[in-house]
Structure 1
Amino acid sequence: MNPNETTLAKQYITNVQLDLSVAAYTKVPTTWRSHNYTPDFNKLYFIMEGEGYLEVGGQRFSPCPGDLYLLPTGTVQSYGTVNQNTFGKYWCHFRAKIGHVDLFQFLSTSTFIHIQKPEWLKQKFEDLIYWHHQESLTSQMHLHSTFLEIIAFFMEQCETVKINSKTTDSLKRINNVLLYIEEHLSDKLSLTELAQVAHFHPNYLIRIFKNATGLSPIHYINRMRIEKAQQMLRFTNWNIMSISDSLGMDIAYFSRMFKEYTGFPPTEYRELFVEDNKPPLSVQARIDEDIFHTGTTSL
């Protein structure tokens, strides 16, 4: 992936929504088998012992202890045993959605990785199983955190991770929209204008844009404008009116949006950093004295 695609892909997968339906450890029976079926969910198999086979997308594998396999949704699969020494495996079924698209339809990865020191991953699966059966207030937070670690680990260890070619065109178009927004941040941008940049219908742009960034186009534009305003308040002497004008926003609307995003009115936000950047009182006293006597500082 080129840098622009990587940046957009990072924004895209940040919005993944996980739904874990089952997690367990099983020593499979000799009757464990299925042939040419296509699940509507993803599976992870972490092999701890035994023998057997998996077929994923027409390719046959003979997993070994220490292998972690991803069997993605929508892919033709088969599995079975080969003798009495059956698999002992940690496993889970899950969905990982980014809008209406599954994470592993958006990304193409290796089918499996081999782990030389499986103790860490074994513990993560134990944690996953534990939190999946808890009903405490924070159990889902722990579950998602643990599961994201497992998925991130798998992706980091894969030889290849790339954007599925079917989604590349949409990503490029959204990336063009993001660049256009950045270059025209002070203009009165409209949804119709952005849709023309992407060559999408406006309603379709809203859906694809939100899948990619987690925000609607107008919320994304406002966030970018407020982030730029924060920099200007901290590092320039521009007054509030000039800043709002430079961002193409009415001052009342700008002030309201700024407070909504940051929790502070623009003037109070600037004062926070003025206070933070003040030198110690003893130094400030010397500066003030030099200004009083000479009109300039000696520092």
Structure 2
Amino acid sequence: MKHSDKTFWKQYIANLQVDLAHAAYTKVERIWEDLDYTPILNKFYYIIEGEGFLTIDGQTYYPKPNELYLLPADGVQSYGTINDDTFGKYWCHFTAKIGELNLFQALETSRFIRIEQPEQWRNKFERLIDYSNSDKLTSRIHTNSVLLEIIADYIESCDKVKFNLKATPAFEKMNVVLQYIEAHLTDNLTVEELAQIAHFHPNYFIQLFKNFTGNSPIQYINRARLEKAKNLLTMTELNVSAIADAVGLEFSYFSRMFREHNGVSPTAYREFIPKD
């Protein structure tokens, strides 16, 4: 994958928003079954014991203990028992969206992973269950944090991960826009200019851009400029005025914005960098 593409997807996935509907451990009954249905929520099944079957988009699986299955929303699925030794499983139902798009429409992963460290994964699900049942003020924050951890660790453990550009034609257009921004940070970039590159009306482009990056176009450009400035402060001996020029900002505005975002001036930031 090209560096620019990887940067785009990292930024895109960073805007993931999750919401847990249910989480529990269940030893399913012999009558546990549902055939050819299409769920509106994503599901994780972490199999601890027993036997049964799952069918996901026409492919049937017979999960074994210490396998974790992802059942994405909006796909045709079936599940059921095959004998009296039924599944004992941790499970959760959740949404995972970037803007209006389901994460697992944009990202194609393995259907299941083999768990090599079962105690750690049991702990993740136990924490998820505990936080989801807690009435503490911060319980929702903890719940989302653990769910994000489970999703991230699952993706990292998959044998294959593929980005689905067909999920929305806007992906490719937004990638082109982000590459253009990266290459023209010293220019006076405008929303109208960027919208024209993507062939969208400016008002629609602003909303779409925010869905993809979590920031407005101007916020994103300024953050990119500040990241480049930090790299220049770290890796070069350019003075602050030259760095402001290198990121396309007037010196006083650059200094003020840098302080607002980083809590210190550019000069102070450079002084904090460890010297060899």
TM range (shorter): 0.7 to 0.9
Can you list the C-alpha shifts for 1:71-100, whole angstroms capped at 9, x where unaligned? 101111111112222111110000011111
Q: Secondary structure at the match of 2:193?
A: helix
Specify the structure having the higher radius of gyration (Cα). 1
Give the length in aligned residue pairs: 275
Q: Secondary structure at the match of 2:25?
A: strand
Equivalent residue number for residue 213 of structure 1: 213
* RMSD, aligned α-carbons: 2.6
Equivalent residue number for residue 118 of structure 1: 118
The 3 A distance-change label for structure 1 pair 75 and 270 is same
In structure 1, C-alpha distance between the alignment counterparts of 2:113 and 2:135, rounded to whole Å: 32
Contact 1:9 1:212 in 2 (8 A): no
Q: Secondary structure at the match of 1:90?
A: strand
1:1-299 equivalences in 2 (<5 Å) = 1-167=1-167, 169-231=169-231, 235-236=236-237, 238=239, 240=241, 244-251=244-251, 253-264=253-264, 268-271=265-268, 273-274=270-271
Equivalent residue number for residue 283 of structure 1: none
In structure 2, C-alpha distance between the alignment counterparts of 1:22 and 1:168, rounded to whole Å: 29
Amino acid at match of 2:170: S
Amino acid at match of 2:40: D
Q: Give the TM-score of the pair, scaled to structure 1.
A: 0.82
Amino acid at match of 1:257: M
Which stretch has the larger CA shift, 109-118 or 31-40? Answer: 109-118
Could you list the runs of 5+ residues in structure 2 that have no partner in the other structure?
A: none
In structure 2, C-alpha distance between the alignment counterparts of 1:14 and 1:31, rounded to whole Å: 40
Which stretch has the larger CA shift, 58-67 or 221-230? Answer: 221-230
Contact 2:165 2:172 in 1 (8 A): no
Could you list the runs of 5+ residues in structure 1 that have no partner in the other structure?
A: 280-299
* Offset at residue 7 of structure 1 (A): 2.1
Which stretch has the larger CA shift, 78-87 or 251-260? Answer: 251-260
The 3 A distance-change label for structure 1 pair 185 and 35 is same
Q: Give the TM-score of the pair, scaled to structure 2.
A: 0.88
In structure 1, C-alpha distance between the alignment counterparts of 2:153 and 2:269, rounded to whole Å: 40
* Offset at residue 116 of structure 1 (A): 4.2
The 3 A distance-change label for structure 1 pair 26 and 188 is same
Contact 1:52 1:80 in 2 (8 A): yes
* Offset at residue 25 of structure 1 (A): 0.6
Contact 2:258 2:266 in 1 (8 A): no
Identity over aligned residues, as a percent?
Answer: 52
Amino acid at match of 2:270: F
In structure 2, C-alpha distance between the alignment counterparts of 1:272 and 1:51, rounded to whole Å: 58
In structure 2, C-alpha distance between the alignment counterparts of 1:42 and 1:202, rounded to whole Å: 33
